[in-house]
Amino acid sequence: MKFKKVELSEINLQEQTFRYTLKPADDRLVFSVRGAGIIEPVVVKRTGKGYIPVTGFRRLEAAEKARLSLMPVLELEESTSRLETFKIGFFDNYGWRVFTLAEKSLAVKKFLEFGMEKAEIIRKVLVWLELPPTGRTLEILTQLAEEKSLLEAVQEKNWRLSTVERFLEFSREERSLIINLVSGLSLNRQTEIVEGFCILKKRWGKPLGEILKEAEFQEILVQKNLDKIQAGEKLAERLRAKTSPLVTGLLRQIDGEIMELNLPPQVVIDYDRTLEDHHLTVKLKLTSVDDLRNILKELSYPDRENHWQRLFASLHNVEE
Amino acid sequence: MEKLTIEKIYVDRKVEGDKFVRKIVDRLPGRPVVFVDNGAQVEDEIRLSPDPIGQGKRVIYLTENKSFLRPCPCTPGCLSCGYWNIDLDQNCPLDCSYCILQAYLKVKPLTLSVNRGDLEVEVKNYLSQNRKNTIRIGTGELTDSLALDWLTENSLFLADLFKGAERCFLEFKTKTDEIENLLKIKPQPNVVMAWSLNPERIIAEEEKGTASLLARLEAAKRAVNHGYRVGFHFDPIIHDESWKEYYAEVVETIFKLIPKDAIFWISLGTLRFPPDLPEVARYRFKKSKLYEQEFVRGWDGKFRYPKPRRIKIYQEIMELFEDYRAGNKIYLCMESLDIYRETLMKKIRGRYFTTFPFSWLR
């Protein structure tokens, strides 16, 4: 590789053949480039009259925004194969940061395009990318790399491989429906909604469109006054009730009994919401012995007796 | 039962001269034999398949095992039944959608241990150290005990090894009807043949490559007629709208074919699985709806049916067996004391009494 300084205009910035990273140049990088110029040279390859970028796509974007004219570059030999060139670009980034799953899928796609054997990708590249080195992982990544709208969603919240695999169980139309529903939500909420609809689709044997026609979901979808986050919360809550009707029903019953007890604010009641442990934990916030006496007296008021009985009965519930 | 397809045999170079290797290779004519330095080389081949787990079930790897005997790990917080495992072979040629080996062993081939001399020494030491203890031990943790018996003859080797160890019950746990080898020998009082049972509908949908319910129970009947005692494992019990009706039919069929006194023990365990199993199994068994049911994540990280549902299942199956006065043969697998209290234990004058079949563990 030869170090040199070239005119920015000589580098074809539209050429993205070797790009697999998705992070754009942000204001901080542009500000830094304006302040100190490009310190770390980018790697380029000569083609015909000009150059094409191999690494440093963000720096190049920032340099263009900062109106820099000269770029420090490392020029690759023209004879370097496309696969070797891509490997250089890949490893240049590898040490700097952890890639998102979307970027990993694009990297795998490029390795395939540039002629690396599938077996080598599974054995080497997937290990480098810290993904399960199996043929199945390769299948999922290849499918992900082909779907632009999915790539954006996966990149935005850095979805996990298992969520992408689950998501790919939906048809193409269903996928865009879900993307619309979950965009802007947190990763956990997105995962929960994808998982929930997947369960219902398989359990009920219905397409997503029909599932969404259920009254409980329609109620949320038609509400115009809900913002994205509120709608997402409600959707996740309804999905929980549909996918876990037994536990959700019992929790509702138990929470209802706790409300009915109408306890003073110094008393906090807690229980295991998986219902595996049927003990009730009662926390008391006290400042004196008198406090303790009064609270204990309050807790054992005869008119609360029935509620306590029902609460424990719900916690021990064995009937469905 | 669907016949197994073994495509290739890998042999660890360390054991290439072993007699057992020759025996296996001779019994699988026409399969390519590849010599390797270690198991990682075999796994490296298997992982290239889009279904590495399925591929692992089609290749045999002959190697040696460092140690064989270990107590069943059960699960933290559960009442253990004191079982011991002999991990002679690893990975199972049968293909059940709920099998945790899919997540536990991942890309392992059917691994057969050839160093039977080491196992013999280990077993003899173990038996001499446990002369006074009553023990249940079996080979069914990391594989089906009998699915490859036509090839390995493990049952004959082990039955001989445990001959005379009266207090040590050796269990062969299976979903097959491969009992020919054990029928060739005189039955030993400490050898128990056991079958995992499920309704025929579940077997057809979720237990690929296994024998039908009737074939299993007919095999059990032949074993009993030969003089063996048998065990039954309702594990995993699968819940759906008509589960009770289907399991009632299974219980009824058992007692039509098998005399109550020939049944040594019956275990119950509802479906449970570690969190990483569904993503593997959903892909491999696209039609299965097992993982779309209602589960909660328990104290040990595993997913189970919600506790009220499990209690109800155990109570109702217990009742089915009580109708035949066989409730005292039942124990639960991987369940907490709480669940035992709600199901198998009876409270008399403030104290709990159990019908747990293993008096030596009480």
Mind giving me the DSSP string for B160-200? HHTTT-TTEEEEEEESS---HHHHHSPPPTTEEEEEE---H
Report the pLDDT value the prediction gives residue A242, as an integer from 0 to 100.
96
* A68 min Cα distance to partner chain B (Å): 47
Rounded to an integer, what distance in angstroms lies between the CA atom of residue A65 and that of residue A55?
18
Q: Are residues B289 and A203, on separate chains, in Cβ contact within 8 Å? A: yes
Average pLDDT score over residue span A65-94: 94
pLDDT value at A159 more than 90: yes
Backbone φ and ψ of B170, nearest 5°: -95, 120
Q: A98: which DSSP letter? A: P
User: Given A119, A169, A244, which is nearest B294 (Cβ)?
Assistant: A244
Q: Which residues contact B49 (CB under 8 A, 6 or more apart)?
A: A134, A135, B55
Structure confidence by residue, pLDDT tens digits, B159-188: 999 999 988 999 999 999 999 999 999 999
Q: Are residues A245 and B294, on separate chains, in Cβ contact within 8 Å? A: yes
Structure confidence by residue, pLDDT tens digits, B59-101: 999 999 999 999 888 888 777 878 899 999 999 999 999 999 9
Q: Which residues in B have their CB inside 8 Å of a CB on A?
A: 44, 47-52, 107, 279, 282-283, 289, 292-294, 296-299, 306-309, 311-312, 315, 336, 338, 342
Only one residue has tokens 């499920």, namely B198
* Helix H or strand E segment including B353: strand B351-354
User: Given B107, B282, B298, which is nearest A276 (Cβ)?
Assistant: B298
Q: Which residues of A61-88 are buried (b: 16+ CB within 10 A; e: fewer)?
A: bbbbebebeebbbbbbeeeeeeeebbbb
Residues of B in contact with A240 (CB under 8 A): none
Q: Partners of A74 in the beta sheet?
A: A3, A43
**Single-letter residue type at A256:** G
Rounded to an integer, what distance in angstroms lies between the CA atom of residue A25 and that of residue A66?
11
Nearest CA in chain A to B49: A135
Residues of A in contact with B75 (CB under 8 A): none
Q: Are residues B47 and A134, on separate chains, in Cβ contact within 8 Å? A: yes
Q: A1-97 in CATH: which number?
A: 3.90.1530.10
User: What is the ipTM, given to two decimal places?
Assistant: 0.85
Report the pLDDT value the prediction gives residue B355, as an integer from 0 to 100.
60
Residues of B in contact with A134 (CB under 8 A): 47-50, 52, 107
pLDDT value at A211 more than 70: yes
Q: Are residues A135 and B50, on separate chains, in Cβ contact within 8 Å? A: yes
Q: Are residues A135 and B49, on separate chains, in Cβ contact within 8 Å? A: yes
Q: Are residues B283 and A136, on separate chains, in Cβ contact within 8 Å? A: yes
Give Cα separations from B149 to B88, B92, B99, B122 (angstroms): 12, 12, 20, 21
Rounded to an integer, what distance in angstroms lies between the CA atom of residue B214 and that of residue B253?
8
Nearest CA in chain B to A195: B292
Nearest CA in chain B to A138: B50
**Residues B279, B286 contacting (CB under 8 angstroms):** no
End-to-end CA distance of chain A: 72
Report the pLDDT value the prediction gives residue B348, as an integer from 0 to 100.
63
User: Given A134, A165, A203, which is nearest B52 (Cβ)?
Assistant: A134
* A203 min Cα distance to partner chain B (Å): 6
* B189 min Cα distance to partner chain A (Å): 40
Q: Which residues in A have their CB inside 8 Å of a CB on B?
A: 118-119, 122-123, 133-136, 139, 162, 165-166, 169, 198-199, 202-203, 243-247, 250, 274-278, 317-320
Residues of A in contact with B105 (CB under 8 A): none
Residues of B in contact with A317 (CB under 8 A): 308
Residues of B in contact with A116 (CB under 8 A): none
Structure confidence by residue, pLDDT tens digits, A232-277: 999 999 999 999 999 999 999 999 999 999 999 999 999 999 999 8
Structure confidence by residue, pLDDT tens digits, A3-62: 999 999 999 999 999 999 998 889 999 999 999 999 999 999 998 889 999 999 999 999
User: Given B298, B309, B342, which is nearest A320 (Cβ)?
Assistant: B309
Nearest CA in chain A to B294: A244
Query: How many CA atoms within 13 Å lie on the side-chain side of B232?
Result: 29
Count Cβ–Cβ pairs < 8 Å, chain A vs chain B: 80
pLDDT under 70 in chain B at which residues?
Answer: 1-4, 346-362
Q: Which residues contact B362 (CB under 8 A, 6 or more apart)?
A: B354, B356
* Helix H or strand E segment including B303: strand B303-304
Only one residue has tokens 């054997």, namely A117
Q: Are residues A136 and B309, on separate chains, in Cβ contact within 8 Å? A: no
Backbone φ and ψ of B152, nearest 5°: -95, -25
* A6 min Cα distance to partner chain B (Å): 44
* B178 min Cα distance to partner chain A (Å): 33
Average pLDDT score over residue span A288-307: 91
- Report pTM: 0.88
Report the pLDDT value the prediction gives residue A113, as an integer from 0 to 100.
96
Report the pLDDT value the prediction gives residue B357, as an integer from 0 to 100.
64
Q: Are residues A278 and B306, on separate chains, in Cβ contact within 8 Å? A: no
Where do you find CATH 3.90.1530.10 in chain A? 1-97
Q: Which residues contact A235 (CB under 8 A, 6 or more apart)?
A: A181, A193, A217, A220
Residues of A in contact with B309 (CB under 8 A): 246, 320
Judged by average pLDDT, the poorest of A39-53, A87-101, A303-317, B251-265 is: A303-317
Q: Are residues A165 and B283, on separate chains, in Cβ contact within 8 Å? A: yes
**Single-letter residue type at A137:** T
Nearest CA in chain B to A164: B279
Residues of B in contact with A319 (CB under 8 A): 308, 312
Nearest CA in chain A to B300: A276
Mutate which: B279, B295, B343, vs A, most A CBs within 10 A: B279
Report the pLDDT value the prediction gives residue B199, as an integer from 0 to 100.
98
Strands across the sheet containing B8-12: B33-36, B8-12, B59-63, B110-113, B89-90
Tokens of A252: 């509702």
Structure confidence by residue, pLDDT tens digits, A105-146: 999 999 999 999 999 999 999 999 999 999 999 999 999 999
pLDDT category, A320, cuts 50, 70, 90? Answer: very low
